[in-house]
Amino acid sequence: MSFPIDQIRKEFPILHQEVHGKPLIYFDNAATTQKPKSVIEALEGYYLHDNANIHRGAHALADRSTRYYEETRVAVQEFIRAKEPEEIIFTKGTTESINLVAYTFGRKFIQAGDEIIISTLEHHSNIVPWQMLCEEKGANLKVIPINEAGEILFEEFEKLLSPKTKLVSIVHASNALGTINPVKEIIAAAHQVGAKVLLDGAQSSSHLEIDVQDLDCDFFAFSAHKLYGPTGLGVLYGKREVLEAMPPFQGGGEMIKEVSFEKTTYNEIPFKFEAGTPNIGDVIAFKHALEFIGSYGKKAIKAHEDELLAYANELLLPVKGFNPVGTAEKKVSVLSFNINGMHPFDVGVMLDAKGIAVRTGHHCTQPLMKRLGLEGTVRASFAVYNSKSEIEKLAEGVTQLARIKNK
């Protein structure tokens, strides 16, 4: 059965507009995905009918809001196949999820001389918190090198592991290149030396089937807005025994059982890590994004996105002056490239004039770009609602630009 692209596109109101007099072609999905009507309507419905604070109210609106909010927690648990909903913590994004681990697990369990391992592929949000922690604690940050295709050198990772390794924090799928890391093998090797493992799932969560129990990761972080959900909402999964051993991230309401001026008793997980009034409306709406994905199935969506990436490579690789960046064997649907003689920003502006939205720059991966000897790239990233005809428009635009500069 063919992928129902026309049906899917009808669910996304924002796609049906013109930019600079051209039909919008949105290829900036690795930065953020668009939202289906069901998510938009759920958010509007919350503020129209249910707006109330959760967990503490006795009235009908508070009861409804609490129930819908906790239903999303269960939906997230099922989406990543966690063991129990209590292992799901709501944050404001992948960045906050990683910082939560750095500030709680890191401050309690990382000591002077300990080592944290990351990779060359990391987003700044999976570099800077660990640099800050290492500077504070006197710990050491180690970096896994990559090859020219943008793949980590696993044997070099194994050499970095030692009894001093306390945490490996690694991206599951690169936002800049699309590389899918061999995370199951990384996790197993890290556990052999007693280290915990955090996976940055900001990109992988929207493209790959996620089973945190099968992966056996200790933490998994991702954002709703890259999964057709609202912005300002993220998730941190953690194994119960690890979360229970960690101190709270912030102090305030909800994260306590009892408070006196002499002593405070902290709440159970996940509430211990959810101080204050949360992002209730967006959490409730996120459930509808997960239901949207479930209605088509991750397997079918990934097959469609893989087909788009393959088609883009088929059309663009023969173009004189087109230089792909990141040619890993296993990738999500991210096409990073440059055109000979053109700055990435200029390419982005010229494609925008044709109604084609792409991302340009270093993609918050400056160390990676330095390793590749590049100032930045143009990044086209594909999602469920993109079509082959849009890929053809991208290829047409890139070909025209390449011909101008590479006659």
CA–CA separation, 309 vs 318, rounded Å? 15
- Active-site choice (364, 369, 388, 405): 364
Q: At a CB cut-off of 8 Å and minimum separation 6, what does 111 contact?
A: 137, 138, 139
Residue 26: strand pairing partners: 357
Please tell me the distance from the alpha carbon of residue 17 to that of residue 404, in angstroms, as a whole number. 29
| Type of residue numbered 142 | K
Residues β-bridged to residue 377: 361
Report the alpha-carbon distance of residue 59 to residue 56 in Å, rounded: 9
| 364 in active site | yes
Q: Are 234 and 206 in contact (CB under 8 A)?
A: no
- Tokens standing for residue 306: 């893989």
Q: How far apart are CA 230 and CA 284, in angstroms?
A: 10
User: What is the C-alpha to C-alpha distance for residues 177 and 121, in angstroms, rounded to an integer?
Assistant: 8
DSSP per residue, 89-153: EEESSHHHHHHHHIIIIIHHH--TT-EEEEETT--GGGTHHHHHHHHHHT-EEEEE-B-TTS-B-
Environment class of residue 21 by beta-carbon count within 10 Å: exposed (0-12), middle (13-18) or buried (19+)?
exposed
Please give the backbone phi and psi of residue 374, each rounded to the nearest 5 degrees, phi first: -125, 150
Helix (H, G, I), strand (E, B) or coil at 234: strand
Which residue, among 347, 374, 352, 350, has the nearest Cα to 363 in the 3D structure?
374
Contact 326/178 with Cβ under 8 angstroms? yes
Q: List b or e across 82-97, with b for residues whose CB sees 16 or more CB atoms inside 10 angstroms.
A: beebbbbbbbbbbbbb
Return the number of other C-beta atoms located less than 10 Å from residue 401's C-beta: 22
DSSP-based helix, strand, coil % in the chain, nearest 5: 45, 20, 35
Which residues are the active-site residues?
Answer: 364
